[in-house]
């Protein structure tokens, strides 16, 4: 007869199975930004709709996502911010114990930004004192689904153009510019910081992304017309 511990471990293994795929981890990252349809996720991760649906069923069985039906379409979202925290813990463990993760981070990230990222606590304090301008470097849909208070949205494909237009305004009054995007491995914020610094502006990136900020309980905003985006 199975013990309580064995039964619970079987359920924990379901969650571990849900996380045991690079494609499913990528889907969770996209769903941490906003609710997505199966078709949209399929395009984002570069899989067929059928394969995307199969992966989503594994995530649903692991209670990591929930589905909403609208006619014949299905829309998925995370079951809660605790899923973001779970993936963050997985990432932190990998960074500490897997040499290959450390090598990849050194290869891709430190070359792009030698300056230390700003923490959520420091950004919140500086924002409350009016010392920073916050840039959300994510697609418009994700920004409208939720963002940091008073953040300015510059979609990834518009970084160079918009920063050229807004450069002086962004740093008005000597404010430092802080950029963030989907998470700590998201290169959009690195690119924005690089463009800003090349223009002689003071810029840093946020240590993590919007999902981690929200999961930590920091204040967020959601645009009232988000349903139109």
Same domain? 60 vs 122: no
Query: Which of 159 and 219 is assigned the larger pLDDT?
Result: 219
Distance CA 112, CA 20 (A): 29
Query: Which of 228 and 162 is assigned the larger pLDDT?
Result: 162
Residues 6+ apart with CB under 8 A from 138: 33, 147, 153, 155, 156, 181, 182, 188, 210
Q: Is 207:180 a contact under the CB 8 Å cutoff?
A: no
pLDDT band, very low/low/confident/very high, at 227 (cuts 50, 70, 90): very low
pLDDT band, very low/low/confident/very high, at 197 (cuts 50, 70, 90): confident
Same domain? 69 vs 175: no
Domain of 40, CATH number, reads: 1.10.10.10
Residue 78 structural domain: 4-83
Q: Which residues are catalytic?
A: 181
152-153 vs 176-180, strand pairing mode: unpaired
Q: What is the mean pLDDT of residues 175-200?
A: 89
Give counts: helices (H), strands (E), the chain. Answer: 11, 7
**At which of 83, 103, 138 does a domain end?**
83
pLDDT tens per residue, range 26-41: 999 999 999 999 999 9
> Is residue 105 in some structural domain?
no
Query: Which of 64 and 171 is assigned the larger pLDDT?
Result: 64
Q: How many domains does the chain have?
A: 2
Domain of 162, CATH number, reads: 3.40.250.10
Is 229 a residue whose pLDDT tops 60?
no
pLDDT tens per residue, range 97-106: 989 988 887 7
pLDDT tens per residue, range 67-125: 999 999 999 999 999 999 999 999 999 989 989 988 887 777 665 666 678 999 999 99
Same domain? 74 vs 130: no
pTM of the shown model:
0.88
């Amino acid at each position: 007869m199975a013990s309580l511990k064995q039964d619970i471990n079987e359920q924990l293994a379901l969650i571990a199975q849900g996380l045991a795929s690079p494609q499913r981890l990528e889907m969770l990252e996209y769903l941490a930004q906003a609710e997505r349809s199966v078709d949209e996720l399929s395009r984002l991760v570069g899989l067929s709709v059928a394969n995307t649906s199969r992966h989503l069923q594994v995530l649903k069985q692991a209670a990591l996502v929930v589905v909403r039906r609208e006619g014949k379409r299905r829309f998925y979202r995370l079951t809660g911010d605790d899923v973001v925290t779970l993936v963050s813990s997985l990432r932190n463990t990998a960074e500490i114990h897997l040499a290959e993760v450390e090598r990849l981070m050194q290869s891709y990230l430190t070359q792009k930004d030698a300056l230390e990222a700003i923490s959520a606590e420091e950004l919140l304090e500086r924002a409350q004192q009016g010392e920073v301008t916050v840039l959300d470097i994510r697609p418009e849909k994700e920004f409208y689904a939720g963002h940091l208070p008073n953040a300015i949205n510059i979609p990834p494909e518009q970084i160079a153009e918009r920063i050229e237009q807004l450069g002086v305004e962004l740093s008005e009054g000597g404010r430092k510019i802080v950029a963030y995007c989907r998470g700590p491995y998201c290169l959009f914020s690195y690119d924005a910081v690089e463009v800003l610094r090349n223009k002689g502006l003071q810029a840093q990136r946020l240590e993590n992304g919007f999902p981690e900020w929200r999961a930590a309980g920091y204040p967020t905003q959601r645009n009232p017309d988000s349903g139109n985006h």
